[in-house]
Amino acid sequence: MQLLGRRVSSRKAAFWSSRFDQVADRLVTHYGVPKLGNFRDPVKEVFYIILSARTAEIQYRRIHRELFRKYSTLEKLAMAPRCKIVACINDGGLANKRAMQVRNIAGRMLADFGPSPSRALRKMNAEQAFTYLLGLPGAGPKSTLCVMMYSLDFDVFPVDVHVNRICARIGAIPKGLKHYQAQNMLPGLVPDGRSKELHVGLVVHGRRICTPRDPSCTMCFLKDLCRTGKAKRVA
């Protein structure tokens, strides 16, 4: 399935599809398919992704836990005074803006589906889920695709900063692309059925080995598949 990114039938696309198969195999061998704290419940995941933007993992995990401890239902969240939500999520930054988004999302889902939106979301096909989730306040393509991949089991490929950076270093896309440009190019190169393994593996690899400033190419198990690694002629 390709959402944001058309399947391109060219020799180049075939090459990268096969290369990403190899990359996915190695990522799974080294990391398995790690859980990154995401939720099977798409409603909880929507808020988790919204709160995670530009916030350290330790903070957004704590804020999300606290938010659902205080407001255990969408009704409570939608009715909560904005200042109370701000106080609850204040540690994460952009608290005023996010508090509005959180309350508006809760209100929107309640109005559209009643108290159990998860069931309604699970019945949607990919295009319906994408359109609906993208229309929620504060949602962008990446957050929408994350909810679809982590919670609704669609084979879609969200591109975050780690994925963008590593795919550029490997050589699949040009370096320095804006987020939306990479999101438009990469899904068309990813082999069917491997999106989640690749996404979570690259996120972990980007945190541990292929870090933003100083990638550890000498110890990288992808170096023979990577244009940057080869250019450095690492042993």
Contact status: 210 vs ligand SF4 (CB under 6 A): yes
Q: By CB under 6 A, what part of segment 149-168 binds ligand SF4?
A: 166
| 3-state secondary structure (DSSP) of residue 162 | helix
In the complex, the smallest distance separating the C-beta of residue 166 from ligand SF4, rounded to whole angstroms, is 5
CA distances from 232 to 79, 157, 195, 220 (A): 56, 29, 28, 12
Question: How many angstroms separate the CA atoms of 223 and 217, rounded?
Answer: 6
Tokens of 203: 């996120």
Q: Considering only 57-65, 75-83, 91-99, 210-218, which stretch makes contact with ligand SF4 by CB under 6 A?
A: 210-218
Nearer to ligand SF4, 27 or 50 (CB): 27
* Residue 199 is a binding residue for ligand SF4 (CB under 6 A): no
Stretch that binds ligand SF4, among 42-50, 128-136, 193-201, 208-216 (CB under 6 A): 208-216
Asked if residue 19 lies in contact with residue 225, where contact means CB atoms within 8 angstroms, the answer is: yes
Tell me: does residue 216 bind ligand SF4 (CB under 6 A). yes
Q: What is the DSSP letter of 136?
A: S
94 conformational bin, left if phi > 0, alpha if psi -120 to 50, beta if neither? left
Asked whether the beta carbons of 78 and 103 are under 8 A apart, the reply is yes
When the beta carbons of 151 and 164 are compared against ligand SF4, the nearer one is 164
- Is 186 a binding residue for ligand SF4 by CB under 6 A? The answer is no
133 is a site residue for ligand SF4 (CB under 6 A)? no
Q: Which long-range contacts (CB under 8 A, 24 or more apart) does 139-145 make?
A: 139/46, 139/49, 139/50, 141/4, 141/180, 141/183, 142/179, 142/183, 143/46, 143/49, 143/50, 143/53, 145/3, 145/4, 145/183
Question: In this chain, which stretch among 26-34, 116-124, 182-190, 218-226 interacts with ligand SF4, using CB under 6 A?
Answer: 218-226
Using rule CB under 6 A, residue 226 touches ligand SF4: yes
* Closer of 74 and 172 to ligand SF4 (Cβ): 172
Using DSSP, state whether 45 is helix, strand or coil.
Answer: helix
Among 103, 142, 169, 196, which residue sits at the site for ligand SF4 (rule: CB under 6 A)?
169
Q: Contacts with ligand SF4: how many residues (CB under 6 A)?
A: 14
188 binds ligand SF4 (CB under 6 A): no
The residue ranges that bind ligand SF4 (CB under 6 A) are 166, 169-170, 209-210, 215-217, 220, 222-223, 226, 228-229
